[in-house]
Structure 1
Amino acid sequence: MTPRISFEHQLEALNDNLVEMGQYVEKSIDQIFKALETMDIELAKEVMEGDDTVDDMEKGIEAQSLALITRQQPVARDLRMVSTALKVVTDMERIGDHAADIAEIIVRFEHADFYHLSKQVPKMIEATKKMVHDSLNAFIKRDVKAAGEIMKQDDIIDGLFDKIKTEIISLLQGGNQNADYCVDVLMIAKYLERIGDHAVNICEWTIFEEKGTIDNIRVL
């Protein structure tokens, strides 16, 4: 096996691990949104426990990427691919962290109904779920055009967050809801908004890998 063929096999293995982590993170997102809708405490706990798996995947991919850079000294597109892996894995790990953050709130307020306190929450959940799925799919396919379009979805998520914030402030001013409960709904919305930001980052890194240009990366 020539050094180049060996290197290409290592790149394929790296990409396979990225895909596996993306699928695991998307599964966590699906689970936490189902848990939020049904207040399924056991499912929320499962997401919390799964966060360690996401962390381990991140560390493994980081080690794999750094080993490739050190031993193979890639250049041009190959270097962009490995560099992108290091960046995307961080955003995927943060998405997993925020899913676990939401899970902790669900477990703490076992009998609450976060899903229906604001009519905007279900809309924000669906928008965030779609954006995560679409961004990971664009990355896997290296679809630059789709990545550019998906980034626009973040405006929808930001708009829904602003509406939820306004509704929660109104509820607090009216004194008709438990303050801690309202604050946690607002925190859930904030975590959703941050998940959307990380999905934007994944799209940005997808474009960078293919075109070598990058704009507006957010570090959260």
Structure 2
Amino acid sequence: MGATPDLYFFNGILGMNDEPNRMKLQSNGKPTNMQPEYRALLPLWQTYPRQTAVLNIYGDKDDGSHSDGSVSNASSQSLRYLVAGRAKSYQERKIVWANAQHSKLHDNVQVNRVLIKFAGVLFWVNMSTWLNLTIVLLISGNLGFLCWYLSARLGVKSFKGLYFVDDERDREIALRVHNVCLNTFITGICLLMLLVFILMDSGWQLTVSRFGNIILCYLLLMMFGSNCQYYYLWRKYDRA
């Protein structure tokens, strides 16, 4: 958990207004003793965004203090009482041992993995069920239609490896088509990296869900465009 000089979202700091193993939490997460700074945050519950998913990561040095050296676990977990029943979801993850020290959490590999997993799951969870189903159907339908089109309309009888080797002519056409499509794919990946760079450096403060939706739309457009290019090139070279 992070903090600013005037505002933090835990209930006390060790050595300042808290001591190891002193503060306790009630069953609903409410601290038995609230610091003034923490109490001042209570009214914010009424305006806290309901669509927010919260991941609370805190450290435990496993030295008996039940803290990360600066903030007690109970103090860190007091965030639950501030957002419970208001946020869309609330999760806690405790990081244990030496690298769980307060200032080291930012460079902890385990923390990075938890954040990446949380961000990825959050993106898919925030997507509606029909959109998830649509994506699966589009990808499955795309592969099925490609195989049907090549077999029924273009006369390709077998699929082996990257190229179609039913006969020499099909193999020559496939080689030319795949070479062009591969160059287009590489260009698309470069443009995707550029798009990610622009979005991350734009200062738009995009949510994980919105960022993911933009990338998803780009990938769907890329898939649709590559299919159109594939069919066009195959018919073009087939007629040559």
Task: State the TM bucket, normalised to the shorter chain.
Answer: under 0.3
User: Max radius of gyration: which structure?
Assistant: 2
Question: Whose strand fraction is larger, Structure 1's or Structure 2's?
Answer: 2
TM-score, with normalisation over the residues of structure 1? 0.26
Q: Which structure has more RCO (C-alpha within 8 Å, separation ≥ 6)?
A: 1
Question: Whose helix fraction is larger, Structure 1's or Structure 2's?
Answer: 1
